[in-house]
Structure 1
Amino acid sequence: MLTVQRKQLILQRLAAEGQIVAKDLAQELGTSEDTIRRDLRELAQAGKLQRVHGGALPASVAVGDLTVREGVSIDEKVALGRAGAAMIQPGQVVILDGGTTALQVARHIDPSLRATLVTHSPNVAVSLAAHPRLEILMLGGRLFRHSMVNVGADVIDAASRLRADLYFMGVTGVHPEAGLSTGDAEEAAVKRALHHRAAETVVLASSEKLLAASPFLVTPLRDVSQVVVPAGTPARTLKALRAGGVKVVTP
């Protein structure tokens, strides 16, 4: 089998089965594991998959910058944002991550709500400013332009002094084995710090993030309170996520 044919087969299997085990595929095709690993490495470099120990998982298409992500799964993110906003109760301290879904949460908050919203995203803070009864706390640091969020030691230090009721965590990969992941190490560190300062962490995940993985782990799937996924998510996907030990709900 030619290299291009093997790579096409790998991508087809990933789409159909959700993972590749290098040893099994090598045996099936009668080739060496080194050959399969080389194919996986080259496909990973092209952004087509995410390598993991022993094989590969689908790469998240949500790792593009904010401008790119604004055009992905728009209707789903509106519905998820509305669902997230409805979870916020008066008087709570809520951490709102950066990203396009977090912006939808901000836009759907009840204008009469009195609460404290904490964010490390300038875009989210500006959107929240339209709600006159909200107390808005910004965590400052180095601006990571790719996601338009502040990252670094200053953000993590400020997070250490928080006690939040709820954290809406944004990620690019939601996978029962690979956990909750994102594409930047510093951003993942900030998300971990915020997660540890909240009584509950909720992930609002549009469909392109489900059963996909990115390079940097934030936390195992079972460590968050719940994952909210789009209505109409396939039963197979729901079952796989729930097998990761997390509560999965739809709006």
Structure 2
Amino acid sequence: MNPTARPLIPEQRHQEILRLLRREGVLSIRSLTDYMNVSHMTVRRDITALEDSGQVISVQGGVRLAEWTGQVPPPERESRAQLELPRKQAIAELAAGFIEDGMVVFLDAGTTCQSVVPYLSARRNLTVVTNDFYVVTSLFAHPHIEVIHTGGAVDASSASSSGRIAAEAVRGINVDLFFLSTGTWNMSRGVTTPSMDKVEVKLAALDASTSCFLLADSTKFGTVSRFRVTPLETLDAVITDEQLPQEMQENIRDLGVTVHVAELRKPGLS
């Protein structure tokens, strides 16, 4: 939607593009043409000018801020497992603090949610529901924790299950706290995923849960996948790391969503 009735001069368009990118992290060419009601070529020229000044960088089908590094993680579990370990561990440790004795907790498939498991050893009467096979095997070391796997169609690349069978299993369980994972999230599209089968399970867990916390590190913000899971405003909280810019944190809080920020350990400190 055009924010003004009067056409903007190039400098005004440049500032508007930067303002939008500071909010979203990344935007498609189509989004910018629709918002500013200008041609595709006009947006391309504006992006070229901003690139020449070092303020933005073109990505496939769109543009992002030059200082912003959000990237879609690789789909293979083995490749993702070694990425951003300090962020994942910091987020997982903070997330575990919200789990109380006697809860039923859903740990979504993904390496960040798997990182929560080591922090659960002191919990009593805890039930963990998951569609992630690595989460299940990690919990073998904690036999006092009851574990329920959803079953469903197996995706070997992510070591998880999904689809209708998994979703139906989740709908039959009353979950206190759902830790939702994602590789892609931003302000306008919310939480997204590359697989429709994964959407079904995530939505079932969202419906079955009293509270839903998104666990997602700052490097994933500003990225988008094909299928939308849920807008950010449906979440109760986001747990991310301290390198998500303050302005983006405030944009999320403006939606009525609590933002919990995990501090990263400094190198050389335990």
Which TM-score bucket, shorter chain as reference?
A: 0.7 to 0.9
Hey, what does 1:142 align to over in structure 2? 153
Distance 2:90 2:201 in 1: 26
Does the alignment pair 1:180 with 2:191?
yes
Offset, 1:65: 1.5
C-alpha contact 1:184 1:216 (8 A) present in aligned 2? yes
Distance 1:27 1:222 in 2: 33
User: Which has the larger Rg?
Assistant: 2
- Provide the C-alpha distance between the structure 1 equivalents of 2:41 and 2:255, rounded to a whole number of angstroms: 28
Question: 1:59 touches 1:213 (CA, 8 Å); kept in 2?
Answer: no
CA RMSD of aligned residues (A): 2.6
**TM-score, with structure 2 as normaliser:** 0.74
Partner of 2:154, secondary structure, is strand
2:89 is matched with which residue: 36, 60, 78?
78
Measure how far apart 1:109 and its partner are: 1.3
Distance 2:113 2:45 in 1: 47
Separation in 1 of the partners of 2:222 and 2:168?
32
- Check whether the contact 2:70–2:219 (CA below 8 A) recurs between aligned residues: no
Aligned length: 221
Structure 2 SS opposite 1:236: helix
Contact 1:221/1:245 (<8 A) preserved? no
Partner of 1:161: 172
Identity of aligned residues (%): 25
After TM superposition, the score normalised by the length of structure 1 is: 0.79
User: Deviation per CA, 1:60-81, whole angstroms, max 9, x where unpaired?
Assistant: 4224221111121110000111
Counting only pairs closer than 5 Å after superposition, residues 27-66 of structure 1 correspond to structure 2 as: 27-29=42-44, 48-49=59-60, 60-66=71-77
Q: Which of 126, 133, 158 is equivalent to 1:122?
A: 133
- Structure 2: segments with no counterpart, 5+ residues: 1-17, 47-57, 263-270
Between the aligned partners of 1:103 and 1:173, the Cα distance in structure 2 is 18
Following superposition, the deviation at residue 25 of structure 1 comes to 5.5
* Change beyond 3 A, Cα 1:245–1:99: same
Q: What amino acid sits opposite 1:187 in the alignment?
A: K
Contact map agreement 1:111 1:131 (CA 8 A) in 2: no
* TM-superposed deviation, 1:136: 0.6
Matching of residue 195 in structure 1 with residue 206 in structure 2: yes
8 Å CA contact 1:188, 1:216 repeated in 2? yes
- AA paired with 1:88? I
Where does structure 1 lack aligned partners over 5 or more consecutive residues? 1-12, 32-42
Tell me, in whole angstroms, the C-alpha distance in 2 between the residues paired with 1:241 and 1:25: 29
CA–CA distance in structure 2, aligned partners of residues 104 and 98 of structure 1: 11
User: 1:220 & 1:161 partners in 2: Cα distance?
Assistant: 24
The residue that corresponds to 1:19 in the other structure is: 27
Task: Check conservation: 1:210, 1:237, Cα contact below 8 A.
Answer: no
